[in-house]
Chains A and B, each alone.
Chain A
Amino acid sequence: IAGITQAPTSQILAAGRRMTLRCTQDMRHNAMYWYRQDLGLGLRLIHYSNTAGTTGKGEVPDGYSVSRANTDDFPLTLASAVPSQTSVYFCASSERETGELFFGEGSRLTVL
């Protein structure tokens, strides 16, 4: 089934550790996004990429980095995790900048 695959599904991480959340899509969508979802705050954009080779900062980029080496993959890296980064992370893609978003199933990250 075509769509977006995220890994890991769930992870518990010690503060200060480095962590990469993986995201792969097989829909050949140009644009990809990383959101975090926290209770009462909704989905907030961390980073985005309008096309392979380009990335941009969203609303809450601090402490996170991304890369877009090819169309399909858009990993999110936490260089040194902190407890405030405990959240559910959703990767999403859209065919074009103005299209609807398709979401992955999410990665639940707990930083202790």
Chain B
Amino acid sequence: GQNIDQPTEMTATEGAIVQINCTYQTSGFNGLFWYQQHAGEAPTFLSYNVLDGLEEKGRFSSFLSRSKGYSYLLLKELQMKDSASYLCAVRGDDYKLSFGAGTTVTVRA
């Protein structure tokens, strides 16, 4: 089975940095994904990590430690449009994606 944990909610101020943590216990590991989902919309792909370390993509970065079963998504220079849910998903040994419940980030002016 898969167990993926992430905080339910986070609040931050415009221009600030927020770090969303994700811990996982899964049957095998074949990569970790982060998706962004605005209210009432479809999830969209943000990042993919399969090796340990940091992947940077503009204002967003994602980190993975396979030995610790841990990842984080770092959002820098927060903008109002970053208010959304962020979904951590792990691909197990069956190659199917299992999702965490999501973290709702609210950006305040």
Do B33 and A42 have beta carbons less than 8 Å apart?
no
Knowing A98-B31, A98-B95, A100-B33, say if A42 contacts B42 (CB, 8 Å): no
Give chain B residues whose Cβ lies under 8 Å from the Cβ of A101: 33, 35, 43, 45, 97
Knowing A42-B102, A48-B96, say if A103 contacts B91 (CB, 8 Å): no
**Which A residue sits closest to B91, measured CB to CB?**
A98
* Cα(A59)–Cα(B101), bound, Å: 15
Knowing A90-B42, A90-B43, say if A42 contacts B97 (CB, 8 Å): no
B87 on the interface (CB 8 Å rule)? yes
Give chain B residues whose Cβ lies under 8 Å from the Cβ of A12: none
- Contact mask B1-15 → A, CB, 8 Å, 1/0? 000100000000000
Knowing A40-B101, A41-B101, A43-B87, say if A103 contacts B96 (CB, 8 Å): no
Total contacts A-B at CB 8 Å: 45
Chain B interface: which size bin?
Answer: 20 to 34
Residues in chain A within 8 A of chain B (CB atoms):
33, 35, 40-45, 48, 58-59, 90, 97-98, 100-106
| 10 A-B pairs closest in CB distance | A103-B42, A42-B101, A43-B99, A42-B99, A100-B45, A97-B95, A103-B43, A105-B42, A42-B102, A42-B100
- For this complex, 27 residue pairs linking A to B, each with C-beta atoms less than 8 Å apart, are A35-B99, A42-B4, A42-B87, A42-B101, A42-B102, A43-B87, A43-B99, A45-B97, A45-B98, A58-B96, A59-B98, A90-B42, A90-B43, A98-B30, A98-B91, A100-B33, A100-B45, A101-B33, A101-B35, A101-B43, A101-B45, A102-B45, A103-B42, A103-B44, A105-B41, A106-B41, A106-B42
